[in-house]
Structure 1
Amino acid sequence: MSAPETTNDAPVVTEDTRRLNMIEAINEALAIMLERDPDVIILGEDVGYFGGVFRATAGLQEKFGKTRVFDTPISECGIIGVAVGMGAYGLRPVPEIQFADYIYPGLDQLVSEAARLRYRSAGEFIAPMTVRSPFGGGIFGGQTHSQSPEALFTHVSGIKTVIPSTPHDAKGLLISAIEDNDPVIFFEPKRIYNGPFTGFYDKPVEPWKKHRDSQVPEGYYKIPLGKARTVREGEALTVLVYGTMVHVAEAVCEARGVDAEIIDLRTLVPLDIEAIETSVKKTGRCLIIHEATRTSGFGAELSALVTERCFYHLEAPVDRVTGFDTPYPHSLEWAYFPGPVRIGEAIDKIMSE
């Protein structure tokens, strides 16, 4: 019997939950869907025998066979193009792009083919594919392994964009994405694959195995796409975040004693506009944090939405803390990320208005 969809609340510890990191939760979601649905196929560079660069697909080829989990040539355009064809044929492919930085050669297949297939065929064909990819910095991967290109995909009609911040959400959201009939970009913040590194350099908030959101239910469950999660309730300030920045924002607000309401968007498209609007109208202030560059980043869209819908409730201008408009600086990546100093300065500014 299928488990019910979860709510926005943090997972409750029961006999049916285990403490997992995000890699383990993703691996478990993939295994569950391979077991449940014979049409689910995993493909990508090194996803088979090796189990993926970050081990997200470890053991899956051995368990489900080389026709269900298989390696591909080093061709992102080919990987995504094949997945589009698989989806049109009736399969549910889950291609992995080894790093989000490598997704650009496959962009035309995503934008011109996958995103438009349902509309162009008047619903006769669909592209039920979930493109998984590690994204963001934090592992000293340099310019070609650390980019955050989520805004590119939120601009394309027909593609859904999902970014989990916890093992609990990663598993439930990935299952929902695989079962969705539209193409989904599933970005995995590799900086928190194994722990909630916050921006206090190399120190996690607390050991990941003790973190409350590492509690992952056994078996099959779904988290619906388009539903944000209230990480922390507050009255003085709304903080809109996703991915790694959820943990950074929470740590900074707790350290500074700010009565902030932190909203983890979880999915950028579809976006939970109702949750955002409700929170900002309650607090009257809004801070947006993301790792990607500032100009045309997704924070700009969030700022516009908040201003359009909550203008008469705002007590201070909406502010953003983001990455800088520069090429990704390998040697200075911890200065590039929004961290305690810049976020703290933004909070002080907003609260003083």
Structure 2
Amino acid sequence: MRWSLLSVLGVLSLAGHAWADHIHPGKVQFPQVSVVAGTQLSQNLHDFATVFSRFVHEKTGSNVQIMQMAGESGMIGADYVSQSADDGSVFLFSTHSTQSVNSMLQKTVSYSPEQDLVNVGMIGTFGAALVVPVDSPFRTFSQLLDAIRLNPPDYRIGYYNSTSQVAAGLFNYYADVNITVMPYKNRSLLLHELAINGIQFAFLDGAFVHDLLKEKKIRVLAITGDIPGIDMNEVDLTAKLHPDFVLEGWLGMAAPRNVPGDVVSRMRSVLRGALADARVKQAMQKTGLKPVDNVCLNIEKFIQHDTERWRKRIMLAKITPR
């Protein structure tokens, strides 16, 4: 199962850059570093990853590249990292999906987050955005809800990853409707179906909406949690439908489980410095990610608590592993 996932050659592309223009004498050096992203990066996320990579290079002297391995809600990328060398040469842009949620939604997961990966630190959190096509007749969350309740069979919602799947199920639960939920292999296919009215709305990770808004492809009607840069005078919170309709994902870093402790500690220090750096912070502001107050402390405890929150929401959404 593990290597069969990696046989999908089309999911791998180099999206970052490697820097070797200067080496800082006296600084602790990693080997050449690859940071794996388990999704197709938006332009804003790509820009953030590029600035982040440059910072890591400046602090460690290592060449750094970002590798996109999109597919299976991040499982392809996480599986690759779990089997990589334990010398500090490979890290994962981890998420709530790769570290906990996938194991609740899939009968077979090709790696164990607990046994195969070690969590390095947190980067930021993000809500999900309920979006419609830019030419949709619906201008507000209330208008959409009223139309769906009037004639539910006329509406379909799509999903392509764990966040959008759980959010779609929760929408049905809290709105007390049973509209059709359509699965898609990736975000691009979902957006295509949204554009041609194959589906009427969907939930997207907040880290992807700003690019689509700039390209005038979507309109945001509501959000499930904080998404920096979204004008709250123009959108609702899904908590308007029900106070418990709150959902937030997160982005962090992880490494193969057997990476030495001192390597993990060094990368934690670099990560902490990166998120305090003005250039990195400026790039992050454009992504829809909300920086966390402390990137490293109690990360395991945070993930345990977060996992239970997702477990409860998946039960409410009546999603069974497939």
TM-score (norm 1): 0.30
Question: TM-score under structure 2 normalisation?
Answer: 0.33
User: Greater relative contact order: 1 or 2 (C-alpha under 8 angstroms, separation 6 or more)?
Assistant: 2
